[in-house]
Amino acid sequence: MSEPLVRWLALGLYGLSLAGFLVFLVRRNQKAGLTAHRLIGLGFLFQSLSWLIRTIGLGQLPVLNLGEALGFFGWCLVGVYLILYRRFRLLVLGAFLSPLAVAAVLAGLIFPGKPLIVGPVYRSLWLTFHLGAVFAGYGFFALAFVIGVMYLIQERQIKSRRPGPVYHRLPSLNVLDQINYYCLAVGFPLMTLGIVSGALYAQAALGRYWRWDPKEVWSLILWLVYAALLHQRLTVGWRGRRAAVMSIIGFSILCFTFLGVSLLLPGYHSFESLQRLQTP
């Protein structure tokens, strides 16, 4: 079985899991939810195999163009969901997360970009650690966004005299707030490690820890936003709706940092610059 076929197979399994989760959410069919959970887990295994094959072949995580970055982000989303499911046992998380994961993986396959050629400048353990930590942090922040959306939906249904069908599937506001905090508490250290390891790699490869590149500046802004949110939760007691809204705002900044800066602003982190540097 070829590696591209493995990727498409993973996407197909994610799509089937999305359908199963929707049946679980709308019709309250527990069996459909469990089947969807198994399908998304199987898809994760196939996509993991794909990443392993390409990483070994290239000698570095293949996330240096738009398509690969989107696909890896989708893989991280599913991985974080599986971690959270083991901790909280909530199938409904998959119903809200799977559309985002399917969209990311599908976009990665539709817009693959130019073939990757990883030159010596990219063959670094620090770069591997930097990319892995940043994307893992992004995955947890994305789940915090999903939880924030779920919180606002559940809060509105509780206030409504005629709650919708998803009311009985969503956990309590207190549980959603706890999961939101868990995602932030795990995602923030990961992103911090990603920034620090990226600075160490920049020093080794480029001779400077920090160059005020647009991606560096926006990553710092993103870090400060989540640092402020965690600080307010721990010291001022931000909970509930306010934390949910801030998680959604933080994710919007994350999306611009991840895609907008790399596509629209010049700098050595842009996908165009990364493509130029990919020479043996």
Predicted confidence (pLDDT) at residue 280 exceeds the cutoff of 50: no
Predicted TM-score of the model (pTM): 0.91
The answer to whether the beta carbons of residues 194 and 128 sit under 8 Å apart is no
In Å, what is the CA distance from 118 to each residue of 3, 115, 127, 208, 260?
18, 10, 12, 21, 23
The answer to whether the beta carbons of residues 104 and 77 sit under 8 Å apart is yes
The C-alpha atoms of residue 33 and residue 39 are separated, in whole angstroms, by 10
Distance, C-alpha 119 to centroid of its chain: 26
For residues 122 and 98, state if they share a domain. Answer: no
- The sign one gets for the Cα dihedral 98, 157, 246, 87 is negative
Q: pLDDT tens across 95-154, in order?
A: 999 999 999 999 989 886 665 566 666 667 778 888 899 999 999 999 999 999 999 999
Among 70, 87, 116, the domain-final residue is 116
The C-alpha atoms of residue 176 and residue 144 are separated, in whole angstroms, by 9
For residues 232 and 122, state if they share a domain. Answer: yes
Q: What percent of the chain has pLDDT over 70?
A: 89
For residues 208 and 141, state if they share a domain. Answer: yes
* DSSP assignment letter at 59: T
For residues 104 and 142, state if they share a domain. Answer: no
For residues 34 and 125, state if they share a domain. Answer: no
For residues 213 and 132, state if they share a domain. Answer: yes
Structural domain containing residue 54: 1-116
The C-alpha atoms of residue 121 and residue 209 are separated, in whole angstroms, by 15
For residues 75 and 199, state if they share a domain. Answer: no
Could you tell me the two tokens for 17? 């899991």
For residues 94 and 173, state if they share a domain. Answer: no
Q: pLDDT tens across 25-75, in order?
A: 988 899 999 999 999 999 999 999 998 988 887 777 778 788 888 999 999
Alpha helices in 89-172 (DSSP H): 92-110, 125-159
Looking at the 3D structure of the chain, how many domains does it have? 2
For residues 172 and 49, state if they share a domain. Answer: no
The answer to whether the beta carbons of residues 54 and 112 sit under 8 Å apart is no
pLDDT given at position 279: 44
Q: Which residues contact 216 (CB under 8 A, 6 or more apart)?
A: 210, 269
Predicted confidence (pLDDT) at residue 271 exceeds the cutoff of 70: no
For residues 173 and 199, state if they share a domain. Answer: yes
Q: What percent of the chain has pLDDT over 90?
A: 56
For residues 53 and 171, state if they share a domain. Answer: no
- Residue 274 pLDDT grade (very low, low, confident, very high; cuts 50, 70, 90): low
Average pLDDT, the chain: 87
198 against 31, higher pLDDT: 31
For residues 161 and 107, state if they share a domain. Answer: no
